[in-house]
Structure 1
Amino acid sequence: MKIYLLTHPRELPKPTNTGKLVTEVLGASVRLVEWSRIGPDAELLQLAEQGALALIYPGEGSTELSAALADAGLSGRLKGLVVLDGTWQEARKMFNKSPYLQKLPRIALEVSEASRYSLRRNQKAEGLCTAECVAYVLQTLGRGAEAKRLSHRLEAFIEAYAHRK
């Protein structure tokens, strides 16, 4: 299953962006797509119309990832998962201004550990950064080796960034 990182344009140049770690570690099994309100990505639109995508986005109407994968009807047609890459405010904006995202099945992650990512202010206590989110998804999909590589890369990134300050 492919991971689609739908990245807010302001997120791309930020030195604290962890989406770039995901693309670095996962290579061709992830696709970074720059979000556009007026020009949505054609591949994402097509997959959304086919019912082949789900959105990692918590809240009302979302299903926990394990339950969604156990649902043969949903998991049988899924070709990809969309992860919104940006601040919580940017992610909310992308969701609210993209009708095709609002129509996707929503998946929530029920993680028991707090985020290790501390490079930004105003983080949600229960929130994960993009790389943590993708690592959790990979682990749940049975891709433990990739999840572990991504987690180690994130730890090194956080440590290196902290030493630069």
Structure 2
Amino acid sequence: MIAACKQCGLIHNCYCQAIPKIACDLYITLLTHENELLRATNTGHLAKKVLKHCEVEIWQRKQPIQALASDRIPMLLFPDDDSRAFNDLSVDEIAQAQFIVLDATWQEAKKMLNRTPELKQLPKVMISSNTESSYALRRNQEKGNLCTYEVAAQMVEQLGDASQSDKMMTFFNYYLACFQAERSGHQYKNSTV
């Protein structure tokens, strides 16, 4: 019997060797809904593997958010009427920020925001993107929504580092093909990353 990879958990389609290491000046906390830990379709874990300054914190409704105690200035990445465009932030604002990304379904993310007064008080930023999501692993995706990993890649691109963002998305598309092949119980044949 073939054992699953201890790092990625896949049996036939280990993608570990393809994971790029992206060094950028983004500090991101993925505030992850506990349901995401149980979903094979979660992409936040990929962002953590790829980005140098990306950490995961599990959201607990009645627990303080550790990322808010950081020395950095917390900003919530969430599209809202009072959100600023990420690409309108100055270099200094980005350098000092701890970006908090709600890693959950859109419905869960809205509940997390509504049930956490500390999050409501944070300055909000949003990604302005014309890019269509290539993420098709979940049903009920609304047009224009990006998954957690794609949001991180867009942030890198909007920092002005298109080559690093391209590396992230090349890997992501490879990962998606590997994941789909794994679900079907076969090995993905294209090894080009």
Which TM class, normalised by the smaller chain length?
Answer: 0.7 to 0.9
Which residues in structure 2 correspond to 1:12-161 (within 5 Å)? 12-26=37-51, 28-42=52-66, 44-47=67-70, 52-67=73-88, 69-70=89-90, 75=93, 78-161=96-179
Contact 1:18 1:154 in 2 (8 A): no
Which AA in structure 1 matches 2:73? A
State how far apart, in whole Å, the 2-side matches of 1:83 and 1:123 are.
18
**For the pair shown, which has the larger CA radius of gyration, 1 or 2?**
2
Conservation of the 8 A alpha-carbon contact between 2:43 and 2:148: yes
Between the aligned residues of both structures, percent identity stands at: 33
Alpha-carbon contact 1:4-1:30 (below 8 Å) kept: yes
Give the TM-score normalised by structure 2: 0.75
CA RMSD of aligned residues (A): 2.0
1:64-120: CA deviations, max 9, x gaps? 1111x1386xx1773311111110011111111111111111111111121110110
Q: When the two structures are aligned, how many residues end up with a matched partner? A: 158
SS in 2 for 1:81: strand
Q: What runs of 5+ residues in structure 1 fail to find an aligned partner?
A: none
Partner of 2:12: none
Deviations 1:125-151 (A, max 9, x none): 010000000000011123445423321
Separation of aligned partners in 1, 2:159 and 2:77: 14
Specify whether residues 145 and 12 from structure 1 end up closer, same or farther in structure 2 by C-alpha distance, changes over 3 A only: farther
